[in-house]
Each structure stands twice: as C-alpha cells, then as structure tokens.
Structure 1
Amino acid sequence: MSALRVRLLRARESFWFLPALLGIVAIVLAQLLITLDRRLDGTDFGAWGFLFYRVGASGSRDILGAIGGSMLAVAATSFSITISVLATASSTYGPRLVRNFMSDRGNQFVLGIFGSTFLYALMVLRSIRSESNDGISFVPDIAVNVAVLLAVLDVAVLVYFIHHIANSIQVSTLSARVRGELVAVVDSLYPETSPDNAVAARSVPSPSAVVLAQSSGFVVGVDEQALVSAARAGDCVIELRIGPGDHLIVGEPIAIKSGDVDSDVDEAVRGALNLGDTRTPNQDIQFAVQQLTEMAVRAMSPSTNDPYTARNALAELAVGLVPLSTRPTPLLGRVDGEGNYRATLTRPTVTELVDQVFDAMRHYGLGNPLAVTAAAELGQRIGTATVHSEIRVAVLRQLAALNRAYGDSDNDPIDIESGRTRIVAATTAITAQR
C-alpha cells in the first residue's frame, strides 16, 4: 500500500474531510451564483420568471438569516446525537469500533450538508445591498432561491440522518460493516491467485545487516512495490521482520538485508512502511478479526450479558475465516521485473487467527452456553471447509481445549452436557473430513 493511498484512507476516515469539502463547494457555489446574478441583474426572464421569487433586500435577508441560523442549530443537534451514539458504541462494542462511525459517509455527509448550507447562506447574505446604504441596490435572487432549495433538501437530509443513525447502532449493521472489512482484507492479503511476482520465500544470503526503525507507531501498511524497488536499487535481498498491526519503537529491527550497510536502502525500506497512531483493518487482518472477536467478548460481559450478539459476531467471523481456510498458502517472496529475488514479506497464518478467536472464547465465553455452541459451530465450519491439514489440526486442538474448559466450568450440568455434545459433534464432523 503506497503512502499516498494511506493518506487518502486516513482522510476518508477523518470526520472533517467530507464536511470540509462540502463547505468549500458551498462557498464556491455561492460566489458563482452571486456573479451570475450580477450579470443577469434586471434581466426579464419572461415565462420562466415564475421560477424565481423576488422578495427584495429585506425579505432576502430574513430568509437567509432564518436558513443560516436554523441550519447551524440543526448541525449542532446532529453532532450531539452523533457523539452520544459514539459514546454508546464505545462502551458497548469497544472503542476500536468507533472508527466505523467516524468513517461513515452518511454521518459525514449529513453534518457536511448542514454546515455547508449555513456557509452558503452566510456568503449570499453578505452580498445583499439596499439603496439606503450607498444608493446601489443588489439582491441575488437566483442565489436566494437556491438557498431555499437547499433548506428543503436539508429537511430530507434530517429525516435520512435520523433513520441512518438509528440503523447504524444496530448490532447487525455494525457487525456487517466489520465483516465487510474482514472479507476485503482476506481478498487483499490471501488472494486465490498469487501475484505475478510472488514466489516461495527464501532466506537472506550472508552477510546480512539489520534495518532499524527511526520512528514509533503502528505499522498500518506495507508498500510491496517500494520494498522491491529499494532492494533492486541496492542490489540486495530484504526480509521484513514486522507486518501491518505490529507496533514499533525507535531502534527496533524492522528488516534484515543482504550485503553491506547502505543508508539509502535503509531509508527506502523505512519509507515502504506506513506508520500510524492506531491500527486499521486495511492490511491488518489480525485487527479485522480482533474487532469481531472483541464484539463477541464484550457482549458476554456481565454488564451487557448479550450472548446473541456474541453468536452473531462469531457467525460474521465465519464469513471471512471459512473462505480464508480454503485459500492457498500465500507466497511471501517477491521478485523484480528481471526475475531476481528481492524481498520476503510476512503474513499471519490462519492457525494464528484461529487461536486468537478461540483463546478469547475459552477465556471469556465459558459462562455463556450459546457462545460456546456458536464457537463450536465456527470451529466445525472452518475445520470441515479447509483443505490444509495444519488448520484442521489447530481447530481440533482448540475444540479439545474448549471441551475440557467447559467441562470444568460452573455452569448448569444440563448446559455443560449440551455444550460438550455440540463440541464433540463438531470434532467428529471435522475428523471425518480427513
């Protein structure tokens, strides 16, 4: 992922980007319409004149003042509602899911259209002149009529916002959005067909040198092409030791490279890594899995006690993990245009992702029979679908650990017997696939 794309993604997830863009558009539109009004001042539109209401300078000021003041109040109210929803989502589903609301185009558009209408009305209002001031009168009738149309549009936008914010807080909507991010990162990092320059990973030939980090933060993306170009420029082989989601501090090793130390190559390797203050699911599949796992874990907390949400989150995890378990093992080596081996990447294995989910369920979900059953169903789905023996072994190991832990729990004996029966059924179905 290039640095430019990372910046664009960060801008997209920023709450200010679309509102700022709409505000600029509103100011430009106001100036253009005012200029048009000046050119057409005094023009008789004939039969089309009924489209424009001419209310004079005083009436136009009143209309624009009412529109601007009401839109600013509505924008403030909408912002307050959004902050309330963010607080609720943070406490219920986890603070890392707040970014889904921040990057939501609907929320950005609503606040942007309200704010831009206010700016438009303000810019048009300042252009109105009456004869009592300096003997020159000017009323931008076209711009005033457009302001009225924008106010009508804002009423529709307000209705949409109420529907959208109520829908976005629902568990199904939120989990579906996170599931979409998981599916996207699975398709990006574990494609069914390997890239043309992908080969099996190789070791870095001796002698080798270590590339150290010069800044701190989370790795949010790796520009593979830039890494290959850096290795080609230095005529060396680079092996990354970190990947998206890892946290770096100054002085930690990020890669090793063959050959003598070359500061230009080191700087190019650092430039191929995009660092940020927070993790994102764009290239970080562990974070994408973690979001749904955290949703399931928080739903099982005593303060929430909602095992149905946990079951829904585990079902959404299956949408990403089951296809992933059928994909070929990714080739982590990269060659340049001439076929020379240049770079070795790093990817989390599917077994690591499976362990991440089931370890959390075993530690936090034993008190919820529905969650245990859902975990067994997830294990069966992955274990029966996968074509890799190591993934099947990992699922069986996790199901066995879950069976032992659930048998030792303090749940009702009937629930324990039912849960263990479901776990055994999942284990039997997976074993039969061997």
Structure 2
Amino acid sequence: MSEKLIYLLQRLLHKTWVRCALFSLAALVAVTLAKLLGPLIPEDIAFKLGSDSIGSLLNIIATSMLTVAVFSASTMVSSFSAVASTATPRASQLLIEDSTIQNTLATFVGAFLYSVIALVGLNAQIYGGGGRLVLFGFTLLILLMVVIVLLRWLDYLSVLGRMGETISRVEAATTKAMAQRLKKSFMGGQKQAENARGDHPLHAPATGFVQHVSMDILQKCAQRADATIHLHVQPGDFVEPSMVIATSTRPLDKESSKAASDAVLIGKARTFDHDPRFGVLVMGEIAARALSPAVNDPGTAIVVLATAVRVMIYWVDEQRAHEKCLQDNPDPNASQPEFDRVSAPNLREAGMLTDVFEPLARHGALAVDVGVALQHALASLRRLNHTAFNPTIDQISRDAIERAVHAGLFAPDLECLREAALAERQARPG
C-alpha cells in the first residue's frame, strides 16, 4: 500500500461521518445477529430472563439518544465557533478531528439507529423469544456503553473550547508532526545538496498547499527512469501550476511524470500532519490575537511563549538524541535513506522561530510583560546552543527592542526590557 493511499485513509478516518457510519453498521450487525442466534435459544428460557421488557428499553434509548445526539452536535459546533473566534480558525481543525468528540457523536447516533431498527423488527414480529433475548443482551451492552460515553462526555465538556485546552492541542499536534519528521530525516530521502537541480522539471498539478509527499511513488518513478529526483517542496509550501515542485536528472515518460506530480498531494489548506511549522505558526496566531486591542490578554501570549519554548526544546533534544543514536549504531545500513533516488530539502528550522516569536514581538511591542517574557524565552533557547537557531534568536531579540523603541514604550519599561535582553546576550556561548 502506497504512502499516499495510507495518508488518504487516515484523513478519511478523521471525518466525523465515517465514525458515525461505522458505529451505525455495528448496530445493524447486532440486530442481524439477534435474528440469526435467536432460534438457538429455547423459548421458555428467553421469557424467564426478561426478554419481554426489551420493547420499553428500546423506546427509552430511541427517544433519549436523538435528543442527546442533537445536543452534542450543537455543543460541538458552538465549541468550534468559540475556538475560531477566541484563538484562531486554524486551531478549530484539531477539534473537528478530535477522536473523543467523533466517538461520542458516533455512539449516540449508532445507539439511536440500533434502537429504531430493533423496534421496527419487534413490531414486525420477526423475532421469536430467543431473538428477543439476544436483542435484550445487545441492548444492555449498548446501554452500558452509552452511559460510559455520556459520563466521559460530560467531563470532557468542562474543557472543550477553552483557551488552555486549545493551546495544549496545538502543542500535541506540533510535537507529533516533529516526531514524524525526525523519524524520517528528509522525509526518508537523501539529504539534498545546496542548489541541487535536475534538467527535467515537474510542475505542480494544482494550486494550493502541499499536504503530503509520497516518497515511495517518487522512488519508483526514479527507478523506472534510472534517474534521481530532486524534490523542491515540502508539506506546508504553497504551490501553483507554474511552479516547479521537483526536477529529474533524466527525462520521465508521460506516465511516470504524471505519477510523480500526483505524488505531491495538494489541498486547499495546510494541515498539522507532517508539517511542524504549521503548528508553531498557529501558536503565533493565537498569541497575536490575544495581544490585539480587542482582546488585550497578555497572559495568553505568555502561555504561548512557554509552550513554544517547550516545543523547541523538544525538537532540539529529539534531534540530538536521533543523531547520537545514529553515531552509536555501528550498522552502516541504519543511516542509509529508505528512498535513495529521491533528495529532499531540509526543514528550515529558523523559520519555526520566526513563525511563533515574531508575531509576539510585533504585536507585544507596547506590552512590557510580554516583552520581558519574550527575552527570557529567547535566552532559554539560546542556552541550547543549537546552531540552526542561534542567529535567528539574536536577531529576534534585537528586533524586539527596536520595535518597542519605535512604538514609544515608556522609558522605565524600556529599561526593564533591555535588562531582560541582557540575559539573552549573557546566554550566548563565549
């Protein structure tokens, strides 16, 4: 199975209707099994075990589940709107794809469909005493599942749509994307040399954002032509048909050329999957909105700062641990790329810093508490002494001071900011 197909299936499973359909299918299977297993149970045992009460139970489930499902759907939509208005519309994507929300809604819809179909079967008298007993057992199991899901849902509503929960979700999605990128350096391909370029270009098949790159398809196309394909885009990049997304050292036939272009999956919006920079960009958007005059919530911006530092430390620590593992591994095949005929560009690590810290410096120029927290955060990252980060950290620190001066920050506050910036300079090695 190709990487592209796996990715598309994963995206499909993130759709709410898919889980609802799967739970509804399970309900249909339960009703069918009751009909098939019923003849195996003696009639007298069935009535002794209370199978005649199945009708009232199904009526209770049918009437209550429809109400609960509608209430849950309205609560879900309200939470999406709240996150979009208080944090950023990009963060609401994480709520839409949240497995707890989808499983809850799917359980309620599935239980409602089960009870309705079972009631139709009972009224049509297609079940004997044994079938009613099997149906009674399935109903008790579904009732137990509904109670457990409902209790969990009530507890989940206490944090759903809250700012702190939204920031935590963005952090989790970002670190997951970082882990995916670190697990496969250069997306599993060769490290791309500077200015590496083939003579035969491949153009973007559509306009939008790169969401996923199927390296296995590119590898097969390169092997078929005995060529090397240089990839020039990665998840998160914006492309349009006039842009070259890859080049080949040898010409590809028409079929391979189309397959290679289609290996770069393009969508209308960026996603958190395989795109670490999108997560930190969303953090910057949350902080920027919190610092807007309409919201004026510097506390949220400071929380975003702390989260961003934690994410960047995770990136550096995991990267160093991965490099150390490769150095300590005597097996030379362990460092060989999976797709040796495809070269991919490296993730621009400094861009992650500008994505999240520059909005804070720009919109928080007149907020001394945010400015001081920013300088302390930069000092923490400077002490990591990560080569790819250091120049950008120093530049952001200087720019934050200049922005505050240009914005006319109160002189004593400006002095506090300069003292905090001194900590960043002292954190520099040497």
> TM-score under structure 2 normalisation?
0.87
Deviation at 1:204, TM superposition (A): 4.7
Q: How does 1:259-338 map to 2 (within 5 A)?
A: 259-260=250-251, 262-325=253-316, 327=319
Match of 1:380 in 2: 379
Q: Which amino acid letter does the alignment assign opposite residue 9 of structure 1?
A: Q
1:113 to 1:148, Cα distance in 2 relative to 1, 3 A: same
- Once the two structures are TM-superposed, the CA of residue 115 in structure 1 deviates from its matched residue by 0.8
Mapped to 2, the partners of 1:340 and 1:18 lie a distance apart of: 34
Which residue of 2 is the match for residue 421 of structure 1? 419
Gaps of 5+ in 2: 327-334
For residue 169 of structure 2, what is the aligned residue in structure 1?
177
Partner of 1:27: 28
CA distance in 2, matches of 1:340, 1:73: 52
Query: Is 1:12 matched up with 2:13?
Result: yes
Structure 2 match to 1:53: 50
Higher share in helix: 2
Q: Does 1:100 align with 2:94?
A: yes
3-state SS in 2 of match to 1:359: helix
- Structure 1 residues 53, 246: closer, same or farther in 2, change over 3 A? same
SS at match of 1:218: strand
Kept after mapping to 2: 8 A contact 1:322/1:386: no
Structure 1 residue 409, shift from structure 2 partner? 2.5
Query: Per-residue deviation at 1:138?
Result: 8.5
Is contact 2:382-2:390 (8 Å) kept?
yes
Amino acid at match of 1:3: K
1:190 to 164, 167, 182: 182
Asked if 1:228 corresponds to 2:214, the answer is: no
User: d(CA) in 2 for partners of 1:85 and 1:196?
Assistant: 38
- 2:395 is aligned to 397
The farther-off stretch of 290-299 and 168-177 is 168-177
Q: CA deviation at 1:222?
A: 1.2
Distance 1:337 1:348 in 2: 19
| Partner SS state of residue 267, structure 1 | helix
Alpha-carbon deviation of 1:157? 2.2
**1:70-149, aligned counterparts within 5 Å?**
70-129=64-123, 140-149=132-141
Whether the 8 Å CA contact 1:241–1:253 is kept in 2: the answer is yes
Asked if the contact 1:325/1:350 (under 8 Å) is kept, the reply is no
Equivalent pair of 1:240/1:255 in contact (CA under 8 Å): yes
- Structure 2 residue matching 1:320: 3-state secondary structure: helix
How far apart, CA to CA, are the structure 1 residues paired with 2:87 and 2:426? 34
- Mapped partners of 2:155, 2:294: distance in 1: 27
Q: Which residue number corresponds to residue 352 of structure 1?
A: 351
Other structure's SS at 2:193 match: coil
Normalized against structure 1, the TM-score is what? Answer: 0.86
Distance between the aligned counterparts of 1:249 and 1:279, measured in 2?
A: 14
Deviation at 1:141, TM superposition (A): 3.0
Residue of structure 2 equivalent to 1:68: 62
Name whichever of 348-357 and 321-330 sits farther off: 321-330
Q: CA deviation at 1:307?
A: 1.5
CA offset at residue 361 of structure 1?
1.7
> Please, which moves more after superposition, 373-382 or 341-350?
341-350
SS in 2 for 1:127: helix
Distance 1:400 1:281 in 2: 31
1:3 Cα offset (Å):
0.8
Q: Partner residue of 1:219? A: 210
CA distance in 2, matches of 1:101, 1:340: 34
The more displaced of 147-156 and 352-361 is 147-156
In structure 2, what residue type is equivalent to 1:288? G
8 Å Cα contact 2:190-2:344 kept in structure 1:
no
Per-residue CA deviations over 1:392-418 (Å, capped at 9, x if unaligned) read 122111101111111333444333322
Measured in 1, the distance between the counterparts of 2:240 and 2:188 equals 34
- Determine helix, strand or coil for the equivalent of 1:408: helix
Deviation at 1:110, TM superposition (A): 1.0
Deviation at 1:192, TM superposition (A): 9.6
**Residues paired across the two proteins, number:** 416
Aligned mates of 1:13, 1:293 — CA distance in 2? 25
Cα gap change, 1:274 to 1:252, in 2 (>3 Å): same
Q: Matches of residues 229-268 of structure 1 in structure 2 within 5 Å? A: 229-260=220-251, 262-268=253-259
2:241 aligned counterpart, secondary structure? coil
**Contact conserved, 1:75 with 1:114, CA < 8 A, in 2?**
yes
Equivalent position SS for 2:158: helix
**Is 2:215–2:263's contact at 8 Å kept on the other side of the alignment?**
yes
Q: Quick one: structure 1 residues 200 and 99, their matched pair in 2 at CA, closer, same or farther if it must change by over 3 Å? A: closer
Partner SS, residue 292 of structure 2: coil
Farther off after superposition, 306-315 or 320-329: 320-329
Residue 152 of structure 2 aligns with an amino acid whose one-letter code is Y
Q: More displaced, 237-246 or 361-370?
A: 361-370
CA RMSD of aligned residues (A): 3.1
Residues 85-113 of structure 1, C-alpha deviations (whole Å, 9 max, x = no match): 11111101111111111111111111111
**Residues 204 and 258 of structure 1 are in contact (CA less than 8 Å); yes or no, is this contact kept in structure 2?**
no
Work out the CA distance in 2 between the residues paired with 1:251 and 1:293. Answer: 30
* CA deviations over 1:331-353 (Å, ceiling 9, x no partner): 9xxxx999996222123311122
User: Which residue identity does 1:368 align to in structure 2?
Assistant: A
Deviations 1:210-265 (A, max 9, x none): 11122233211112232222212111222222211122223432112223353233
**Is this contact kept in 2: 1:245–1:287, CA < 8 A?**
yes
Aligned residues: percent identity?
21
Distance 1:153 1:263, change over 3 A: closer
* Conserved? CA contact 1:61–1:125, under 8 Å: yes
SS of the residue 1:372 aligns to: helix
CA contact (8 A) 2:213 2:265 kept: yes
Structure 1 gap segments, 5+ residues each: none
**Contact 2:83/2:161 (<8 A) preserved:** yes
Judged with a 3 Å threshold, the aligned counterparts in structure 2 of structure 1 residues 117 and 41 are, in CA distance, closer, same or farther, namely: farther
Cα distance change on mapping 1:248 and 1:82 into 2, 3 Å = same
